[in-house]
């Protein structure tokens, strides 16, 4: 939630998405009272299929324009891939990759159309090497880095036309 606090200090209104409804409402109250901004809490498990699309639809339904998107949701797991819980590995890919990709896809075109916006996809130093006993986590972070660099080039090429 550090990013939320930093942006609140800069007077950005915020949409906060997290699984724990209590925590986001607590943070909402703190940030609104300290910084005089509007905070829109949205409780969701982004590892669920189409949860990211539901977040986008929430912003549309409430007339909220997103100027900065920070994709910071994610988790890791350790242990041998062969012995791992398949469902947990699947949920990691869904959250670390698919939700990030879907949120980026949903919000990128409106940002392009409004002529401004920033997307920050949080990766890790894990993106730069193989990670035995954390293979899926490392692979997802590699995807985030590669995807983000590619999208940045696509947007840059579009702007230079």
Would you please indicate which residues are annotated as catalytic (active-site) residues? 137
Q: What b/e readout covers 130-140, taking b as 16+ CB neighbours within 10 angstroms?
A: ebeebbbbbbb
If phi > 0 it is left, if psi is from -120 to 50 it is alpha, else beta; for residue 122 that is: beta
Euclidean distance between CA atoms 78 and 98, whole angstroms: 20
3-state secondary structure 97-137: HHHHHHHHHHHHHHHHHHCCCEEEECCCHHHHCCCCCCHHH
* Cβ neighbour number for residue 78 with a 10 Å cutoff: 11
Rg for the chain (alpha carbons), in Å? 17
């Amino acid at each position: 939630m550090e990013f939320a606090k930093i942006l609140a200090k800069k007077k950005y209104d915020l949409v906060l998405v997290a699984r724990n409804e209590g925590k986001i409402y607590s943070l909402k109250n703190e940030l609104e009272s300290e910084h005089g901004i509007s905070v829109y809490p949205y409780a969701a498990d982004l590892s669920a299929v189409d949860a990211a699309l539901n977040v986008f639809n929430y912003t549309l339904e409430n007339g909220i324009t997103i100027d900065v998107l920070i994709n910071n949701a994610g988790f890791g797991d350790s242990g041998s891939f062969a012995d791992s819980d398949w469902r947990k590995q699947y949920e990691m890919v869904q959250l670390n990759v698919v939700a990030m990709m879907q949120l980026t896809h949903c919000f990128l075109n409106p940002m392009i159309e409004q002529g401004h916006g920033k997307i920050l996809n949080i990766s890790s130093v894990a993106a730069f090497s193989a990670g035995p006993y954390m293979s899926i986590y490392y692979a997802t972070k590699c995807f985030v880095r590669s995807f983000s660099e590619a999208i940045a080039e696509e947007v840059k090429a579009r702007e230079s036309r």
